[in-house]
Amino acid sequence: MRTGRGVAVVNTAREPVARALAEDLAGYGDLTGRVVGGDGRARIVARGAGVLSGTAAVREVAAQVDERLDVTFLLKDGDRFGACEMLGGVAGPLAGLLAMERTALNFLGCLCGVASTTAAFVAATAGTGARIAATRKTTPGLRALEKEAVQHGGGLPHRFGLFDAALVKDNHIRAAGSLTAAVAAVRERLGHVHLIEVETESLAQVQEALDCRAAVIMLDNMDLGQVRAAVRLVAGRAVVEVSGGVTLDRVGDLAGAGVDIISVGALTTAAPWVDIGLDME
């Protein structure tokens, strides 16, 4: 944790980077790169187009490998880049530069992929009132970085975990015996600043969630006709979220149905990596 202007700022990349470097170096270091001496420079070059994310992770990789490595980026997170565009560079001891290469590019390619995929979904819903959001379907240990990448692509992070928002899902409803009972049990234990979201699978459940005064109603795996009917039923009395089976080719229609939020697991589970290289000068 570092402090800036009196505010504590958590370094979300430190622990994931440490684990990734432990996988790659395992305490032995780079068996081939260690024979190289002197200093050098390399360019960070995009092989394909995308949206930048992961610059903090790259800097953290460099810092943990060798503090003498200097990383610079010509763009900032959230900026778009084209194929063959130079994104930045690394300078410093050659042994460290070679040791950081794959780990840094793994983070960068993965997170740029999440940001770029998010940007595509955001573009497909342009002109509507709907916002694109992530889910908790994230790579274990990389949630904070992937949620940041979603934001770099123009999306919303949604909740970060079970601790920061109350979402009553199907298994909670089954365990409690009914939607109403589940909401009542959760509300009894919540603080006054917490809102309740309820996952629904039918219009009957939507009405029940309204009767329970749910602040957010999620429409889970509903078809377009059901989504439109649910929006009419809610009539502005709650935030309407759509989730489940959301693809790029149907997200525009879902947004046009008048929903407020569309949460998409594919932002983090199906985002293709952006091919990025580190080219020695």
Query: Of 12, 100, 80, 47, which is closest to residue 273 (Cα–Cα)?
Result: 47
* CA–CA distance, 82 with 234 (Å, rounded to integer): 43
Q: Verify whether residue 70 is a known catalytic residue.
A: no
**Cross-strand pairs, 68:** none
* CA–CA distance, 51 with 87 (Å, rounded to integer): 11
Give me the phi and psi of 78, to 5 degrees please.
Answer: 100, -15
* CA–CA distance, 258 with 240 (Å, rounded to integer): 9
Catalytic residue, from 14, 102, 187, 228: name it.
102
Q: Verify whether residue 66 is a known catalytic residue.
A: no
Q: Between β-strands 2-4 and 216-220, what pairing exists: parallel, antiparallel or unpaired?
A: unpaired
65-68 long-range Cβ contacts below 8 angstroms, 24+ apart: 65/21, 65/96, 65/99, 65/100, 66/92, 66/93, 66/95, 66/96, 66/99, 66/100, 68/92, 68/93, 68/96
Catalytic residue, from 137, 159, 187, 228: name it.
137
Catalytic residue, from 14, 43, 169, 228: name it.
169
Q: Verify whether residue 220 is a known catalytic residue.
A: yes
Catalytic residue, from 30, 101, 220, 241: name it.
220
Q: Verify whether residue 169 is a known catalytic residue.
A: yes
* Angle at which helices 94-124 and 143-152 cross, to 10°: 60
* CA–CA distance, 99 with 75 (Å, rounded to integer): 24
Supply 106's token pair. Answer: 């793994």
Catalytic residue, from 199, 208, 241, 260: name it.
199
Half-sphere exposure of residue 6: CA atoms within 13 angstroms, side-chain side: 0
Q: Verify whether residue 174 is a known catalytic residue.
A: no
Q: Please list the active-site residues.
A: 102, 137, 169, 199, 220
